């Protein structure tokens, strides 16, 4: 493996990891703060991708499609929280599993009814549709670099949101002590609704920006969901920092695994998870 | 444990009689369908041992179901039938061993973690069979000959015959039900329920909770393997889809839909779930929307989650209490169970 | 099993000496020393009360002895061995039972089932999976005895969730007794009880003193002075005084340090 090839795999692994972080961070916040296990999180990723495809073909602009898509996913998150999720905070995880599994089926079939079962490609915006040459025959697509940069910016924004803002303080207060936060006059219901909507939007956004790379296909949410579960298990439930570390770890492990040991690449992340469980059953990091 | 009392026992016996008579009246299609449902019922009861009695919500139970299918497919010679006498115990042993190893790991976690980790391990197994050549990759393997069941030189049953296979599955379903009911009424079973209620207290009382949970996990894995074996025999074919998380999700739905922690609930759940699938995908009734039967399934599941927390068995118990209360000597177990809820 | 052997060895030990003693027992939570260098002895036939203001580390001490928490340093000497760091189920099996400050019983089960569950925990046939749970005469007898000892014989078939608060506290202790412990760790057994219930609990503790070594955590000073033969005062995780109740009551250090001073000690 020469240096340029290694560099390309490294960048791919990081880009994949950062994308996973967008999905997994919402998942881990919803677990950690609201105590909800959300199996439908992968469906939001799938919905994002389909929204990007259908809106982009309507507006002829991926940027416009993403802007519109984000608004729609936020609205979807708010509606879901209000209609269903909020009635399940105090209930056993079992019923959360039941509810969100039902949601997966509903979203998947709605997708089939509305958009059909075909695979679609989404073009990279013209402005970004070129590659940076690395050697004579190796180059790196700019769009992947842009995705990584956007993910990093969002991660930074999330860090600032949680560490520096009033909402972040409410999030931290809510995660450590719900009654206390409530008695301090924090509107915990609103905070929960916002967190859920944020999680939905992040997963949807990840699906949208990755649509040109992954293309758009049925059941694309399932694989992402399970990898994100592994991320949350490794990183520790409720830990955004852990989600970041674990996402990058898994992104790199899977990317290099596919290059170096393609026969067992699918298993690598699970072996990694098993190893972490032996060592630290609660994941690498605790809380935020 | 013996919830619902007299009314319930009567209902279960009637249902059993119905199932015994069923192939005499039913068509080939329905005999096959009911065989499939009873296999799923065994699968669901094995999961109920974990979810309903030990408080372990596994979202990866298809691992045992699928592993059993692959174990059988890889065990039997390609062009001749093997004996059920050794392939079935061997398959269940493989599943028990897998449960022992993975159980030692997953039982270190609890709550949401446990749900996700069981799912992830099942997914790992999925990729083992999907990505490698061991089990024919994503195409799977055919099992050309069904196992034979002989005593000496005489064939007891011919599993190629639908009715014979139907009665074997029915007998095994009843056997698993009785076995688990016996087990759960024992000190061991009481300890499992105690662990579900309050594991910390059980440990303080001197129960090695981990060992109990591992024992339940291994037993559940072996029984899950039994159902997977039967399914592989019925379909004559295995592919990675039998380990997919949709399979794990479906069996968990059966347990909850039917009513967990009752044993007969998951059996009802298996029937309700599969028949619901058949109903929603019925083209004569739903026309073009029959293709989208999962939409109706999803909505039904959401409704159950919101409105029917104790499943269909909960409804049955209510009816049972009403019926039993009308009799002079109401069953003491019935009143007790009411407080369990 | 080794655990039963050592329990037997303990039971055979000559009376008078300490059955359980801690040496320099310490537990840190981050920077906080919740229990700091605590050395106490428990003797059969004696109630050793541990008192102190809230946050003094009394419950943490109980948790260390019962194995719910592992100590950061120090030893728990019992039956010729060191219990420090053993899991709670093994400590329980060695003959050390505890009750909880917050009632910690199996609410959906009947009183008898609660006790039977406790009694079966160390029965050799706990793994005989094809016999009905109620079919073991020795387990049933053990459960019946524990129920009777705790004054719950008349409540046998009541579902635990329907008991009064005081009865639930009694059940808490009955479950503990059903495991036939030599050492009883009672964490505020009088918490939340009315005067009548308190009085019968005090009688129960007095009755249990004969066959057991008891460590009693309690805020009710009347009860403490009614039952304790030995008294230890903890403040901020440390023992500031220990000895016969009357001596401790009059110790200047205790008068000074104990919140509420004279009043609460003379109660």
DSSP C183-241: EEEEE-TTTT--HHHHHHHHHHHHHHHTT-EEEEE-S-HHHHHHH-SEEEEEETTEEEE
> Which of C120, C150, C180 is at the close of a domain?
C180
Averaged pLDDT for residues B297-324 = 80
Distant-in-sequence, close-in-space partners of A98: CB < 8 Å, separation ≥ 6: B252, B253, B256, B301, B302, B304, B305
Q: Which of B60, B31, B114 is nearest to B243 (CA)?
A: B60
Give the pLDDT mean for B201-225: 95
Of A103, A232, A271, the CB nearest to B302: A103
Reported as type and span, the H/E element at residue B175 is: helix B162-185
A positions 120-149 inside 8 Å of B (CB)? none
pLDDT at position A32, please? 83
Residue B166 to chain C, least CA–CA distance (Å): 28
Residues C119 and C163 in one domain: yes
Find all residues with CB under 8 Å of A164, minimum gap 6, and list them. none
Query: Token pair for residue A133?
Result: 């040459």
pLDDT beyond 60 at B269:
yes
CA A224 → CA A23, A266, B121, distances in Å? 8, 13, 15
Reported as half-sphere exposure (CB side, CA atoms, 13 A), residue C169 has a value of: 21
| Chain-centre distance for alpha carbon B263 | 10
In whole angstroms, give the CA distance from residue B319 to residue B8.
9
Q: What is the mean pLDDT of chain B?
A: 87
Q: What's the DSSP call for residue C131?
A: S
Q: What's residue B336's pLDDT?
A: 36
Residues of A in contact with B249 (CB under 8 A): 39, 101, 104
Q: Looking at beta carbons, which residues of chain B come within 8 Å of A263?
A: 131-132
What ipTM was estimated for this complex?
0.86
At residue A175, the pLDDT reads: 67
What mean pLDDT comes out for the span B141-155? 86
- Report long-range pairs for C158-163 (Cβ below 8 Å, ≥24 apart): C158/C110, C158/C111, C159/B336, C159/B339, C159/C107, C159/C108, C159/C109, C159/C110, C160/C105, C160/C106, C160/C107, C160/C108, C160/C109, C160/C110, C160/C111, C160/C114, C161/B339, C161/C107, C161/C108, C162/B339, C163/C111
C101 touches B at CB < 8 Å: no
Domains of chain B: 5-323 (1.10.3470)
Residue C220 and residue C258 share a domain: yes
A30 close to B (CB below 8 A): no
Q: Do residue B187 and residue C131 have CB atoms under 8 angstroms apart?
A: yes
Co-location of C91 and C46 in the same domain: yes
pLDDT given at position B31: 93
Residue A185 has a pLDDT of: 67
Cα Rg of chain C (Å, integer): 18
**Same-domain status, C81 and C203:** yes
Mean pLDDT check: name the lowest of A48-57, B197-206, C75-84, C256-265. Answer: C256-265
Given A31, A105, A264, which is nearest B297 (Cβ)?
A105
Q: At what angle do helices B28-48 and B162-185 cross, to 10 degrees?
A: 20
Instruction: Please indicate, yes or no, whether residues C158 and C185 belong to a single structural domain of this protein.
Output: no
Nearest Cα to Cα of residue A47 among A118, A111, A117: A111
**Can you list the alpha helix ranges (DSSP code H) found in chain A?**
3-34, 41-59, 62-83, 93-115, 142-164, 166-176, 178-183, 188-214, 220-235, 240-260, 265-279
Q: Does A275 touch chain B (CB under 8 A)?
A: no
Closest-CA distance of chain C to residue B205, Å: 6
CA distance B235 to B223: 19
Q: What is the pLDDT at residue B283?
A: 80
> How much is the pLDDT for C260?
53
Residue with the two structure tokens 């078939």? C157
Q: Using an 8 Å Cβ cutoff, are B170 and B24 in contact?
A: no
- Residue A230 burial class via C-beta count within 10 angstroms: exposed 0-12, middle 13-18, buried 19 and up: buried
DSSP, res C78:
E
Assess contact for C126 and C214: CB atoms under 8 A: no
Most B CBs within 10 Å, among A109, A111, A223, A268, to test the B interface: A109
The number of folded domains in chain C is 2
Question: According to the model, what pLDDT value does residue B327 have?
Answer: 44
C242 forms beta bridges with C232
Could you tell me if A213 and B93 are in contact, meaning their C-beta atoms sit under 8 angstroms apart?
no
Contacts of B341 (CB under 8 A, 6+ apart): B310, B314
CB A268 within 8 A of CB B152: no
Which of B115, B124, B131 faces A37 most closely, judged by CB atoms? B115
Per-residue pLDDT tens over the stretch A94-139: 889 889 999 999 999 999 999 999 999 988 888 888 888 877 777 8
Kindly state whether residues C128 and C144 are assigned to the same domain: yes
Q: Go through C217-243 and write b for each residue having 16 or more CB atoms within 10 A of its CB, e for each that does not.
A: bbbbbebbbbbbebbbbbbebbbbbbe
* Closest residue by Cα to residue A283 from A250, A256, A243: A243
Nearest to B339 among C121, C130, C159 (CB): C159
CA distance to partner chain B, nearest, from residue A142 (Å): 31
Determine the residue of chain A that is closest to B245 in CA distance. Answer: A222
Closest residue of chain B to A275, computed from CA coordinates: B105
Indicate the SS3 state at residue C243.
Answer: strand
Contact present, A128 and A143 (Cβ < 8 Å):
yes
Q: B touches C (3+ CB pairs < 8 Å)?
A: yes
pLDDT, residue B4, reads 53
Helices and strands, counts by H and E, chain B: 14, 4
Distance CA B164, CA B152 (A): 19
The β-bridge relationship of strands B141-142 and B237-238 is antiparallel
Label residues A249-265 b or e (16+ Cβ within 10 Å = b): bbbbbbbbbbbeeeeeb
User: C86 and C111, same structural domain?
Assistant: no
Residues C24 and C53 in one domain: yes
SS3 C124: coil
Q: Tell me, what's the pLDDT at B333? A: 37
Domain that holds residue C123: 103-180
Locate the domains of chain A by residue range: 3-279
Cβ <8 Å between B203 and C87: yes
Contact yes or no for A112 and B292 at CB 8 A: yes
Beta bridge partner(s), residue C29: C32
Q: In whole angstroms, what is the distance from residue A209 CA to residue A66 CA?
A: 8
- Name the minimum distance, in Å, from the CA of C160 to any CA of chain B: 10
The confidence score (pLDDT) of residue B111 equals: 82
pLDDT at site B325: 60
* Residue segments in chain C with a per-residue pLDDT below the cut of 70: 1-16, 124-126, 257-267
Q: What is the CA radius of gyration of chain B?
A: 20
B209 vs C contacts (CB less than 8 Å): 89
Q: Which residues of B touch A105 (CB under 8 A)?
A: 294-295, 297-298, 301
Same domain as C200, residue C153: no
Q: Which residues pair with C217 in a beta bridge?
A: C50, C187
SS3 (DSSP) at B300: helix
**C10 close to C182: Cβ distance less than 8 angstroms:** yes
Asked if the model's pLDDT at residue B337 lies above 50, the reply is no
The sign of the torsion formed by the CA atoms of B240, B246, B251, B254 equals negative
More confident residue, A262 or C84: C84
Q: Which two tokens stand for residue C15?
A: 């009376």
Q: How confident is the model at residue B2 (pLDDT cuts 50, 70, 90)?
A: very low
- Count of CB contacts below 8 A, A vs B? 128
Which of C66, C136, C162 is the closest to B204 by Cβ?
A: C66
Which residues, listed in sequence order, are joined to residue C231 by a DSSP beta bridge? C49, C243
Tell whether C179 is within 8 A of chain B (Cβ).
yes
Q: How far apart are CA B250 and CA A39, in angstroms?
A: 14
Domain end among C164, C180, C196:
C180
Burial class (CB in 10 A: 0-12, 13-18, 19+), B144: middle
Task: State pLDDT tens for residues A132-164.
Answer: 887 777 788 899 999 999 999 999 998 888 888
Q: How many residues does chain B have?
A: 341
Which of C180, C203, C221 is at the close of a domain? Answer: C180
Counting as contact any 3 or more CB pairs under 8 A, the partners of A are B
Contact list, B340 vs chain C (CB under 8 Å): 108
Closest by Cβ to A31, choosing from B112, B119, B309:
B112
pTM: 0.87
Same domain, C159 and C214: no
Which residue has 């520790």 as its token pair?
A: A236
3-state SS, residue A220: helix
B183 and C129 in contact by Cβ < 8 A? yes
pLDDT > 90 fraction of chain B, expressed in percent and rounded = 57
A267 has a pLDDT exceeding 80: yes
Give the pLDDT band of residue A282 (cuts 50, 70, 90). Answer: confident
CB within 8 A of C10, min separation 6: which ones? C19, C78, C79, C94, C95, C182
Which of A40, A102, A237, A282 to mutate: most B Cβ within 10 Å?
A102
Instruction: For chain C, list the contacting chains (3+ Cβ pairs, <8 Å).
Output: B
B vs C, Cβ pairs < 8 A, gives 93
Length of chain A: 288
Read off the CATH number of the domain in which C260 is found: 3.40.50.300
CB within 8 Å of chain B, chain C residues 128-157: 128-133, 136, 139
**What is the C-alpha separation between A245 and C27, in angstroms, rounded?**
32
Interface of B with A (CB under 8 A): 51, 57, 59, 105-106, 108-109, 111-113, 115-117, 119-121, 123-124, 127-128, 130-132, 245, 249, 252-253, 256, 260, 291-292, 294-295, 297-302, 304-306, 309
Q: B190 and C121: CB-CB below 8 Å?
A: no
C81, C162: one domain: no
A170 Cβ neighbours under 8 A, 6+ residues apart:
A181, A186, A188, A191
Question: Are C91 and C110 within one domain?
Answer: no
- Whether residue A206 is predicted with pLDDT greater than 70 in this model: the reply is yes
Residue A288 has pLDDT above 70, yes or no: no
Q: Report the pLDDT value the prediction gives residue B159, as an integer from 0 to 100.
A: 85
pLDDT digits (tens, 9 = 90+) for B25-83: 878 999 999 999 999 999 999 999 999 999 999 999 999 999 999 999 999 888 888 89
CATH code of the domain occupying A3-279: 1.10.3470
Report the residue of chain B nearest A266, measured CA to CA: B127
Q: Which residues of C touch B1 (CB under 8 A)?
A: none
What pairs with residue C38 in β-bridges? C25
């Amino acid at each position: 493996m020469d240096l340029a090839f290694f560099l390309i795999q490294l960048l791919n692994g990081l880009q994949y990891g950062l994308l996973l972080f967008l999905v997994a961070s919402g998942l881990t916040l919803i677990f950690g703060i609201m105590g909800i296990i959300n199996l439908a999180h992968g469906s939001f990723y799938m919905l994002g991708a389909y929204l990007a495809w259908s809106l982009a073909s309507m507006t002829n602009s991926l940027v416009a499609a993403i802007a519109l898509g984000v608004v729609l996913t936020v609205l979807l998150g708010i509606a879901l929280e209000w209609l269903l999720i909020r009635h399940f905070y105090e209930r056993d995880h079992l019923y959360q599993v039941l509810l969100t599994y039902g949601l997966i089926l509903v979203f998947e079939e709605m997708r089939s009814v509305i958009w059909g079962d075909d695979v679609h490609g989404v073009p990279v915006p013209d402005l970004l549709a070129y590659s940076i040459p690395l050697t004579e025959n190796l180059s790196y697509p700019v769009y992947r670099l842009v995705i990584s940069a956007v993910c990093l910016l969002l991660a930074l924004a999330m860090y600032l949101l949680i560490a520096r803002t009033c909402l972040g303080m409410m999030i931290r207060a809510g995660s450590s002590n719900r009654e206390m936060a409530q008695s301090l006059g924090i509107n915990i219901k609103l905070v929960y609704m916002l967190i859920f909507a944020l999680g939905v939007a992040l997963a949807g956004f990840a699906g949208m920006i990755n649509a040109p790379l992954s293309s758009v296909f049925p059941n694309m949410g399932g694989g992402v969901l399970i990898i994100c579960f592994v991320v949350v298990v490794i990183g520790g439930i409720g830990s955004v920092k852990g989600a970041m570390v674990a996402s990058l770890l898994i992104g790199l492990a899977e990317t290099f695994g596919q290059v170096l040991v393609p026969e067992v690449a699918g298993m690598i992340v699970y072996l990694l998870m098993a190893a972490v469980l032996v060592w630290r059953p609660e994941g690498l990091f605790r809380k935020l | 444990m013996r919830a619902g009392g007299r009314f319930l026992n009567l209902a279960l016996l009637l249902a059993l009689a119905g199932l015994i008579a069923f192939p005499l009246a039913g068509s080939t299609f329905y005999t096959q369908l009911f065989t499939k449902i009873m296999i799923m019922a065994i699968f669901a009861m094995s999961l109920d041992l974990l979810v309903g009695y030990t408080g372990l919500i596994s979202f990866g139970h298809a691992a045992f179901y699928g592993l059993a299918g692959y174990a059988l497919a890889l065990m039997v010679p390609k062009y001749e039938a093997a004996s059920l006498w050794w392939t079935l115990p061997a398959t269940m042993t493989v599943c028990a061993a897998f449960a022992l190893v993975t159980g030692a790991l997953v039982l270190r976690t609890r709550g949401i973690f446990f749900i996700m980790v069981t799912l992830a391990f099942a997914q790992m197994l999925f990729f083992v069979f999907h990505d490698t050549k061991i089990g024919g990759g994503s195409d799977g393997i055919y099992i050309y000959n069904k196992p034979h069941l002989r005593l000496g030189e005489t064939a007891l049953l011919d599993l190629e015959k639908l009715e014979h296979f139907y009665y074997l599955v029915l007998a095994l379903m009843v056997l698993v039900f009785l076995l688990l009911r016996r087990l759960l009424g024992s000190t061991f079973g009481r300890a499992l329920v105690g662990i579900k209620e309050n594991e910390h207290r059980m440990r303080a009382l001197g129960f090695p909770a981990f060992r109990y949970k591992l024992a339940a996990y291994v037993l559940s894995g072996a029984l899950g393997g039994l159902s997977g074996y039967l399914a592989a025999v019925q379909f004559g074919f295995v592919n990675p889809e039998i380990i997919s998380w949709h399979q794990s999700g479906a069996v968990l739905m059966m347990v909850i839909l039917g009513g967990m922690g009752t044993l007969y609930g998951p059996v009802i759940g298996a029937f309700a779930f599969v028949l619901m699938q058949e109903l929603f995908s019925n083209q004569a009734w739903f026309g073009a929307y029959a293709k989208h039967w999962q939409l109706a399934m999803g909505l039904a599941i959401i409704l159950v989650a919101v409105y029917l927390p104790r499943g269909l068995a909960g409804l049955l118990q209510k009816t049972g209490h009403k019926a039993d209360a009308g009799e002079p000597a109401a069953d003491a177990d019935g009143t007790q169970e009411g407080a369990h809820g | 099993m080794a655990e039963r052997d050592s329990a037997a060895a303990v039971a055979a030990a000559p009376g008078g000496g300490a059955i359980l003693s801690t040496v320099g027992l310490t537990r840190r939570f981050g920077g906080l020393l919740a229990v700091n260098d605590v050395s106490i002895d428990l003797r059969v036939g004696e109630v050793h009360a541990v008192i102190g203001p809230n946050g003094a580390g009394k419950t943490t001490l109980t948790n260390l002895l019962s194995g719910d928490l592992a100590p950061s340093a120090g030893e728990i000497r019992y039956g010729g061995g060191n219990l420090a760091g053993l899991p709670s189920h093994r400590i329980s099996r060695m003959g050390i039972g505890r009750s909880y400050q917050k009632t910690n019983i199996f609410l959906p089960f009947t009183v008898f089932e609660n006790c039977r569950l406790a009694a079966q925990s160390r029965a050799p046939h706990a793994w005989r999976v094809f016999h009905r749970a109620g079919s073991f005469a020795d387990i049933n007898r053990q459960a019946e005895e524990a129920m009777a000892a705790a004054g719950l014989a008349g409540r046998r078939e009541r579902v635990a969730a329907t008991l009064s608060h005081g009865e639930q506290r009694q059940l808490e202790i009955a479950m503990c007794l059903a495991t036939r412990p030599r050492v009883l760790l009672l964490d505020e057994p009088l918490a939340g009880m009315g005067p009548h219930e308190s009085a019968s609990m005090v009688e129960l503790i007095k009755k249990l003193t004969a066959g057991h070594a008891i460590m009693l955590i309690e805020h009710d000073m009347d009860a403490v002075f009614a039952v304790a033969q030995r008294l230890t005062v903890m403040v901020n995780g440390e023992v500031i005084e220990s000895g016969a109740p009357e001596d401790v009551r009059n110790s200047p250090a205790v008068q000074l340090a104990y919140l509420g001073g004279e009043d609460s000690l003379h109660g």
